[in-house]
A and B are shown apart, each in its own frame.
Chain A
Amino acid sequence: MENDYLSIANSNLLFFICLIPIVIVIIQSIMFLRLSRKEAKNLNIPDETIKKVIANSAIFSIVPSLPILITLAILMPVLGKFIPWLRLSVIGSAMYESMAADMTIKSFGLGGLGAAELTPTVFVGIIWVMTLAILVSPVLNVVLLKSYDSKLKSFRKSGGFMAAAVGSLFIGMLAIMGVPTLFNFKNPVGIGVSVISGIVIILFDRIAKATGNKVLSEFSFPLSMVIGMVSAIFLVKLF
């Protein structure tokens, strides 16, 4: 009985337990989508613009979803099919889920992710830790987001400097997320990839503007990203 946790982890019953939050997240996304589309109409945003945004987001999201499947493949032999499926569909990221599982397995005195002979008790412990340790952000959303959002909106409404400041925040975010990659000299391929995808998107945007090419205009971002990624296959041979 001790080592039969995989029969629990791959059971039909666990599939249905995991299915419930996934169905809720789908319903939540659809409800927000409908609400925002309705508001877009009220704001007189052309339907064509919204359709472009939808297509762009759908196409772009395919590529970053693929590495998630690699994490899924790493976690499935250890945690069965359904818990990694749930955790990587809801809240979690590849890094968080792997680390949370590894930390829990180690706290049970076992070797860590992959090397462990888990028991049902460890398995349930892992699910608890994965679930609880990452709930801070959603809980803060429930408690604080309305007042925080209202404060941000009052800054925007006031105009002048505060409106400009709130509007420029994403630039600071992109600076700390994007610029360090250009100085990661241990990964010259990454530097090349970043530069190539940056140049390609500028070129695509200019060509789209000059020629009125709709496909290039709508998909310049995912296309540039994929071209950057493909360039890594060739750059790796140079460095």
Chain B
Amino acid sequence: MNESKNTTSYDNTVHRLGRVSTIIMLLALLAVPTATAILFNVQVDVNKTVTAFFGAFSLFGVIGTIEFFSYAPVLGAGGQYLSSITGNISNMKLPAALSGIKLSKFEPGTKEAEVVSTIAIAISSLVTTAIVFLGMLFISMFLPILQSPVLAPAFSNMMPALMGALAVPYFMKDFKTASVPCLIAAILTLVLGYSTVAGLQSYLMPVFLILTVLWTRVLFAFKKKEPKVESTQEQK
């Protein structure tokens, strides 16, 4: 009941499209190993495959669950459906969405920002699909460039470059909100070391989301105590 109050017809269409297309995609993906085994008459070693599956699932299943809850509020529903199917969220879809939101000058979390985020992610998905396809066809042409020793430092430092360009404008725009999460991230890295924090990043993400919410609560309380020039009364 509550759902219909908070969703618009656009939201309902997004969820319908997202659910149907995801189910179709899941079936198509499951058809790949099934069809390969059947059409090429390959015997499946169920025991060894299941053992390997549990090994991989114990790691990526947990990460997938955490990422589901962490990314959805930032990417919006449409962006979340698309990103989960196309992957490369932290290094491509999330930056594409946040960069699009910044460019459009809408506030993150608004309806407009959600629409912009979905558009940016859809375009990013199409571009990546095209590049990977071209890469598959012409990899021998690309490889000498991609693996050249001169360019190697540039590619191995892509994430620091991406994060600097993405995070700094947002931190500067909302310095108060960013201050405590950034400070705690810095202390944590100094205490535990970079490699430990980087390895735990997926698990730390929800912790930092909760931390940010708590810090926003503190800031909100301070704001309320300030002398009221403008009324900030909440509608009940």
Contact = CB atoms under 8 A, between A and B. Distances in A.
A33 B216 contact: no
A118 B45 CA distance: 13
Given A36-B78, A135-B26, A201-B169, A89 B147 contact: no
Contact of B15 (A149, A163, A168): A149
A161 B186 CA distance: 26
Contact of B99 (A56, A62, A160): A56
A127 interface: yes
B181 A128 contact: no
B31 A17 contact: yes
A131 B33 CA distance: 8
A42 B10 contact: yes
B75 to A, nearest CB: 9
A54 B15 contact: no
B64 A137 contact: yes
A100 B86 contact: no
Chain B, interface SS category: helix
Size bracket, chain B contacts: 35 or more
Contacts, number: 554
A205 B82 contact: no
A234 B188 CA distance: 30
Contacts of B82: 28-29, 32
B154 A232 contact: yes
A167 B108 CA distance: 5
B225 to A, nearest CB: 14
Interface string A139-171: 111101111111111101101110111111111
B220 A174 contact: no
Contacts of B95: 60, 64, 221
A222 B116 CA distance: 17
Contacts of B3: 146-147, 150
Contact of B29 (A90, A150, A201): A90
A39 B189 CA distance: 42
A33 B119 contact: yes
A133 B67 CA distance: 14
A126 to B, nearest CB: 8
B119 A180 contact: no
B153 interface: yes
B119 A24 contact: no
Contacts of B84: 91, 137-138, 141
